[in-house]
Amino acid sequence: MKAVVRHVARLGAVAIGLVALRAVPAAAGVAVGSAQIIHGDGSALRSGGSQTTFSVALPQGARCPGDSTKSPWYRAYSFMVPKGVDPASITFKGGYPDKGLGFINGGAYYGAINVARDTGQVIEIPTDFSIGRFSAADVLPNGANTATWSVGLACATNAGDLSNYWGTDMTFTAARSDPHGFTWTSARSGVSSGKSSSLSTGPLIVVGALAAALAALALRRRRSSAARAG
C-alpha cells in the first residue's frame, strides 16, 4: 500500500514538472507567425515586377519580446532567403541579415527599426517597400527560371539574435519585359514555416491518466483493507 501511494506521489510530481515545462518554450526558439504582401493602401497584392512597391501586413498586435529602450533591446528587420533556408537561422549582427536579402525603403535596407515603447509592437511598417535594387541574378540564382523565397519581418536583439518573425512566400519568375528581368507572385495568405516550440500536451495526458488510475487503485485497496478490519 505505502509503495503504491509513494508511486502515485512521484507521478504527481512528474505531472507538475511537465506542466511547468509546458509554460515555457522547449528552447529559446522562434515564435513563427505569418505575414502578407499588400498594397500600400492595405488592399491585397498578389503579383508585381521589380518596380512594384508594396507593404507587409502582420497579425494584429504583432510584437517583439521587448521594446527598443530596455536591454536586451529589440528592433525590427526585413529578410528574404531562398525557400528551404530557415529564417530562424538568420542573424542581424551589424544591422543587416547575414544571409539572403532584405526589403529596401528610402533607398536603404529596412532594418534596425525601433519598435513601440513598452509593448514592443512592430509599428513602423513602410507602405512603399521595394526590391528594385536587385537583379534577376539575385533572386533567380544559378540561372533558374523561377525560385521561391521566404520573406517577411523579424525581431532581433541588439546583439543581432533573431527572436521571432512573420513570413510568407514570394515566387520570382524570369521576365525579359521587366527592367530588372523578373516578376513575382506572393502567397495568397501568409505562410508559417515552423512548429510551435512548446512541449506537446500528450505527455501530460498520459501521465495524468496513469496517476488517476493508480490513485483509484490505492483508494480501492484502502477501502478493502478497512472492510476486512471491520
Does residue 52 share a domain with residue 7? no
Alpha-carbon distance of 80 to 71, in angstroms, equals: 27
DSSP 8-state class, residue 17: H
Does residue 132 share a domain with residue 32? yes
Is residue 182 a part of any domain in this protein? yes
pLDDT at 220: 59
Q: Residue 170 corresponds to which cell in the numbers above?
A: 514570394
Does residue 14 share a domain with residue 92? no
Secondary element (H or E) of residue 222? helix 202-229
Is residue 191 a part of any domain in this protein? no
Does residue 212 share a domain with residue 103? no
pLDDT at 32: 74
Here the contacts of 1-10 (C-beta below 8 Å, separation 24 or greater) are: 1/218, 1/221, 1/222, 1/225, 4/214, 4/217, 4/218, 4/221, 5/218, 7/214, 8/211, 8/214, 8/215, 8/218
Closest CA to 115 of 190, 58, 41: 58
pLDDT along the chain (230 residues), means of 10: 44 38 42 90 96 97 95 96 96 96 97 97 96 97 96 97 97 97 88 36 37 48 53
Does residue 37 share a domain with residue 14? no
pTM given for the model: 0.71
**Which residue range(s) make up the domain with 213?**
2-20+200-225
Does residue 158 share a domain with residue 61? yes
192-207 per-position pLDDT tens digit: 443 333 323 333 333 3
Sequential DSSP letters for 33-74 = EE-EEE-TTS-B--EEETT--BEEE--TT-B-SS-SSSSSPE
Does residue 217 share a domain with residue 166? no
